[in-house]
Amino acid sequence: MNLGALTDQVISLTKVVGSFIMQGSLVFDRENIEYKGLNDLVSYVDKTAEHKLVEGLSVILPEAGFTTEEKTSSKVGDVYDWIIDPLDGTTNFIHGIPAFSISIALQKNGELIMGVVFEMNRDECFSAYKNGGAWLNGKPISVSKALKLENTLLATGFPYYDFEKQEPYLNVFRDLMQKCHGLRRIGSAAVDLAYVASGRFDGYFEYNLNSWDVAAGIVLVREAGGEVSDFSGKNNSIEKREIIATNGKITAEMLQIINRYFI
């Protein structure tokens, strides 16, 4: 399989669907919101975008299965599976905040081998595939060179429906904000990870995430020279639904603070 050529096809599809989402953002009415759970929002734009992505990806790689946020397809692939978030940052989209993205990853026998994140508000398409490096609109990107937390800008996501770990999270937040340039919460995990891959953020952490939130971003960060793990430092962030992504140089410092409260 030519992963480079396949990635180009996925990028093209993502931009078409991204255009649909942007058009939808101009006319979206909050009365069209649906609730999947507490503060867990979805709209017809998410669902239609996912249908379009599943249809397009089925043409690109017919034998692949799907893991999708809106459950558009239940097909399981023998070797390949797509992991899709059609609109990461739905709450931002609904409220007219211009920070949301499409996230698409490809898995081969359980291994993540490709990731594409399209942040359509800035027309920025981040892409990466195994041993192919990481790219932004066709130009190579890499993680930052910051050596210590005191020289970093970090990102996180706030719990919005599962508050069981709120207290340890707030303790980590408090400690980190005293040790870095600042903490940011954009509202799209896929964008957070893309920004780590491109060196805008030096590190990112969050818990209670789904595979479609982070799969593509994990590929981006690793191919850009960074590190991704769960809160214990192991390579099972998707299974444990928690993630630390860094430039590889501040991982130990971040893990030390997080382990103080979460482990």
In CATH, the architecture of 149-262 is 3-Layer(aba) Sandwich (3.40)
pLDDT, tens only, 43-98: 788 889 999 999 999 999 999 999 998 888 889 999 999 999 999 998 899 899 99
211-240 as b/e: b if 16+ CB within 10 A: bbbbbbbbbbbbbbbbbbbbbeeeeebbee
Residue from 36, 83, 82, 87 nearest 59 by CA: 82
pLDDT, tens only, 106-149: 999 999 999 999 999 999 999 999 999 999 999 999 999 999 99
Query: What secondary structure letter does DSSP report for 11?
Result: H
- Band (25; pLDDT cuts 50, 70, 90): confident
- In the prediction, which pLDDT does 231 show? 93
CA dihedral 71, 77, 80, 84 (to 10 degrees): 0
Mean residue pLDDT across the chain: 93
In the chain, the percentage of residues whose pLDDT exceeds 90 is 79
Q: Where are the domains of the chain?
A: 3-141, 149-262
- In the prediction, which pLDDT does 142 show? 98
Top CATH class, 3-141 = alpha beta
- Band (161; pLDDT cuts 50, 70, 90): low
Regarding pTM above 0.85, the answer is: yes
More confident residue, 217 or 262: 217
Segment (H or E) for 254 = helix 251-262
* Cα 191–Cα 70–Cα 241 angle in degrees, nearest 5: 55
- How far apart are the C-alpha atoms of 159 and 163, rounded to whole Å? 6
- In the prediction, which pLDDT does 81 show? 98
- Band (39; pLDDT cuts 50, 70, 90): very low
pLDDT, tens only, 189-203: 999 999 999 999 999
